Amino acid sequence: MRKRLQAVFYRTPHGVEPVREWLKGLDREDRKAVGCDILTVEMGWPIGMPACRPLGKGIFEVRTDISGGRTARVLFCLEAGVLYLLHGFVKKTRKTPGQDLELALQRRRTVLESALGREHGC
């Protein structure tokens, strides 16, 4: 079976990949669980609950249960058939914190600006 989407780590202008760095901070089993759920989205898009949920304004979340009864989230957007992994965190409240969503939206704007620049040969 072929992937429908290709996941790509969002990269800051300084070359840092925040989601990759966040994943490295998780223990091996948690990292594997998050990776499997991202792969599920790549293979099965469009996909809904419980693996994935839209948050609005072009942001979606991959939902993963990890050790210790915790829940990890990876926020992503889609652009030209690419799944951009924008932000990852361990959820501590029922609702996605506004600062996490705002950070993902800011990174999405960067992705869109970059895509627009490539489209116009910039």
**% of the chain at pLDDT higher than 70:** 95
**pLDDT above 70 (res 119):** no
pTM (predicted TM-score)? 0.93
> Which residues 6+ apart lie within 8 Å of 13 measured at CB?
none
pLDDT attached to residue 118: 61
The string of pLDDT tens digits covering residues 46-103 is 999 999 999 999 999 999 999 999 999 999 999 988 999 999 999 988 889 999 999 9
Of 60, 6, 63, nearest to 34 by C-alpha is 63
